[in-house]
A and B are shown apart, each in its own frame.
Chain A
Amino acid sequence: MSWTRKILRVNLSDGSCTSEPLNMEWANQYLGQRGLASKYLTEEVDPACDALGAENKMIMATGPLTGTMASTGGRYSVICKSPLTGAIACSNSGGFFGAELKFAGWDMIIFEGQSAKPVYLYIQNDKAELRSAEHLWGKSAWETDDIVRQTHQDPQLRIACIGRTAEHGCLYSAIMNDKHRAAGRSGVGTVMASKNLKAVAVRGTGGIGNVHDSKAFMAATNDGKAVLAENAVTGQGLPAFGTQVLMNVINGVGGLPARNMRDVGFEGAENISAEAMAEPRKSDGKANLTTNGACFSCTIACGRISTVNPEHFSVKDKPQYQGNSGGLEYEAAWALGADTGVDDLDALTYINFLCNEDGMDPITYGCTVAAAMEMFEDGVITTEHTGGIELRFGNAEAFVAITEQFVTGEGFAADLGLGSKRLCEKYGRPELSMTVKGQEFPAYDPRGIQGIGLAYATSNRGACHLRGYTIASEVLGIPVKTEMNDTDGKAELVKAFQDATALVDSAGLCVFTTFAWGMDNIAPQIDAACEGDWSVENCLETGERIWNMERLFNEAAGFTADDDTLPKRLLKEIIKSGPTEGQVNRLGEMLPQYYEARGWTADGKIPQETRQRLSL
């Protein structure tokens, strides 16, 4: 077993912290992290509850491989009901926090209730206590991290916390850990704020001493590392260029949406790409990219450490933003850049710093600003709303100005904090919200790339690339190339990606390993670490079980097949130019096949026989 078999239950209403045994029967069915915590959530929380009420729970969960020597085995996830979507939320983060939680002896923390006053949780191995966070309320995530660290005089402390945007009620706030890593999507930070919980600080000295078959585990993890090292993507591409290498690829194939997905293809793409990040700039001869970085136990190291040009208008008189910090990843660069029409790399890097500093999901934030920009250009939103800011596509100064207001909660912040669905509804243009189930799209246009449209439409947490990354196959040829504009076989492709990802997330591994690893590399690592049968077949069935369980949560929360759809723009408005000219997403062809492949009814319900097959 690599589970610690211990859960920390924190009741914020009465201030108690209690230890309880992990339900091993569930662990054998749902593995850990995403799957196991979602099982706890579905058992303990009414899916119809108010996401920001005391009855919602928030679970920070590790997987059995978190904290081990398995490559990328440092991940944790935050599971709750999402205030942005009303669906199940599961946001995954790297860094070092997850491993530290494991070293302290905990598989997961379940937060319930609501504290009357701001508090933070301090964990030192098996000791856990809530402390006042009144001095931390109103501070950014970065300041909070510094203050808590100073208070405890412990440089090894690992901290996950929220910034000011969550306190102000932004519906898509993230939980930041290790300053630059985020459980980013679906507003899990907003749920944390609703509980008056500012931070979780953890120090563990226990290590992982309970691997089921340590010899087999050594062999399986070493084999896995060799595969990652030898693979051109995980061994060379990701460490050198990061995820941002995709900017030119996706633009090149006609799959890069721009300007609130009004256009496909962005003329400024190459200026905000990985290649641009590596170029020395004129002012100080340095490149935007300083170096790469890795999360706990990761042998890929895709992370970006960047600086903004110190002479750039955004940071000119702000020395605190002139040093190294977490740089742009592809999805953030797209949402903040191409989707707003801004191709100023320094401005985007600075805005990304602010997203990290005050904890907001850069995808939803960028897309919400993009929707606001389209409404500004249409005259629906005016300078009266924005406090004089000319919020036009491509206006980097305006974007920087509105973001600086946003993080402090001033000006147009309250409106932008709604996310694009509520914002567009408020201003009478609901069709301009580029969302599924209320969550904004990542950086791939479903008109140009069919399968990703089906993956977005059926994702249990709303539009998301990390729930079924068919781009790997449809564009990048991993593991095999499929045609972008074909709909045939995409139902099965989406299902396979969704199930496999659910399993990887539940193990405590990073999904980027799957560019090199198949389930035949992953299953032996889990099987050696955990007791029970973790064959390839059982791993895949576990992934499928998790997917169906999440779907059942959403069904009970009121979602139906009608929510498995895409915005009209993507189904009806053809791409106007470029290699994918004339295309729309043909979801109607794929969705019935997908329901069938899943063993669901024609109206997307999970019938008794499928539940039985999956022991649900």
Chain B
Amino acid sequence: MQINIEFYASLMQYLPPGKSRHRREISVQDGLRVNRLVEQFHIPEKMAHIVLVNGHFVDADKRADRELVEGDVVSIWPPVAGG
């Protein structure tokens, strides 16, 4: 299935080559779980601090259960803050 990934800030280095600044459309196996996606891109677990699927938080303890579906947008940030 096709999903979109978006990596931000220091995690941009984990993006495969592509044109858009943050987003890549990728093929993944059906039913891929969020934690596996993070591993697949070699993002250290504690650097995947904010993980959103379609703009909604998936907290760290839910990532092993959360299955992705066709068209999902997964956005990932390291620990960040500002204000």
B-binding residues in A (CB < 8 A): 231-233, 236-238, 240-246, 248-249, 252-254, 270, 274-276, 279, 302, 329-331, 465-466, 469, 471-472, 475-478, 481, 484, 511-512, 515, 578-580
Do residues B50 and A249 form an inter-chain contact, with CB atoms below 8 A? Answer: yes
Residues of chain B within 8 A (CB-CB) of A579 are 52, 54-56
Residue in contact with B82 in the complex, picked from A236, A246, A484, CB distance below 8 Å:
A246
- Give Cα A465 to B81, complex, Å: 13
Q: Nearest chain B CB to A167's CB is how many angstroms away?
A: 30
Q: How many residues of B contact A (CB 8 A)?
A: 25
Do residues B83 and A465 form an inter-chain contact, with CB atoms below 8 A? Answer: yes
Do residues A249 and B77 form an inter-chain contact, with CB atoms below 8 A? Answer: yes
Residue in contact with A249 in the complex, picked from B21, B47, B59, B80, CB distance below 8 Å:
B80
Residue in contact with A253 in the complex, picked from B6, B52, B79, B81, CB distance below 8 Å:
B52
A515 to chain B: closest residue by CB: B81
Q: Nearest chain A CB to B55's CB is how many angstroms away?
A: 3
Stretch of B8-16, B27-35, B63-71 with 4 or more beta carbons under 8 angstroms from chain A? B8-16
**Chain A binding surface SS class:** helix
Residue in contact with B9 in the complex, picked from A245, A471, A477, A484, CB distance below 8 Å:
A245
Q: Which residues of B in the span 25-52 have a Cβ within 8 Å of any Cβ on A?
A: 46-47, 49-50, 52
Do residues B83 and A275 form an inter-chain contact, with CB atoms below 8 A? Answer: no
Q: With A232-B78, A238-B82 given, name 20 new contacts (CB 8 A).
A: A232-B79, A233-B79, A236-B10, A240-B9, A240-B10, A241-B10, A245-B77, A245-B82, A246-B82, A248-B8, A249-B80, A252-B55, A254-B55, A274-B9, A275-B12, A275-B22, A276-B21, A331-B83, A477-B50, A579-B52
Residues of chain B within 8 A (CB-CB) of A330 are 82-83
Interface centre among B6, B46, B59, B77 (most CB of A within 10 A): B77
Could you count the A-B residue pairs with CB atoms below 8 Å apart for me: how many are there? Answer: 98
B82 to chain A: closest residue by CB: A243
A476 touching B81 in the complex, CB below 8 Å, given contacts A237-B9, A249-B50, A481-B59: yes
Do residues B8 and A511 form an inter-chain contact, with CB atoms below 8 A? Answer: no
Residues of chain B within 8 A (CB-CB) of A329 are 82
Residues of chain A within 8 A (CB-CB) of B12 are 275
Q: Nearest chain B CB to A542's CB is how many angstroms away?
A: 22
Do residues B55 and A275 form an inter-chain contact, with CB atoms below 8 A? Answer: no
A279 to chain B: closest residue by CB: B21
Residues of chain A within 8 A (CB-CB) of B6 are 252
A469 touching B83 in the complex, CB below 8 Å, given contacts A275-B8, A275-B21: yes
Residues of chain B within 8 A (CB-CB) of A469 are 83
Do residues A243 and B52 form an inter-chain contact, with CB atoms below 8 A? Answer: no
> What are 23 of the A-B contact pairs (CB < 8 Å)?
A231-B79, A232-B46, A233-B81, A236-B10, A236-B78, A237-B81, A240-B10, A241-B9, A242-B82, A243-B82, A245-B81, A245-B82, A246-B83, A248-B22, A249-B80, A253-B52, A275-B12, A275-B21, A330-B83, A475-B50, A476-B50, A512-B81, A515-B81
A232 to chain B: closest residue by CB: B79
Do residues B81 and A270 form an inter-chain contact, with CB atoms below 8 A? Answer: no
- Give Cα A473 to B80, complex, Å: 12
Do residues A237 and B79 form an inter-chain contact, with CB atoms below 8 A? Answer: yes
Residues of chain A within 8 A (CB-CB) of B77 are 245, 248-249
- Give Cα A246 to B21, complex, Å: 16
Do residues B83 and A511 form an inter-chain contact, with CB atoms below 8 A? Answer: yes
A275 touching B81 in the complex, CB below 8 Å, given contacts A252-B52, A578-B55: no
Q: Nearest chain A CB to B79's CB is how many angstroms away?
A: 4
Residues of chain B within 8 A (CB-CB) of A249 are 8, 50, 77, 80
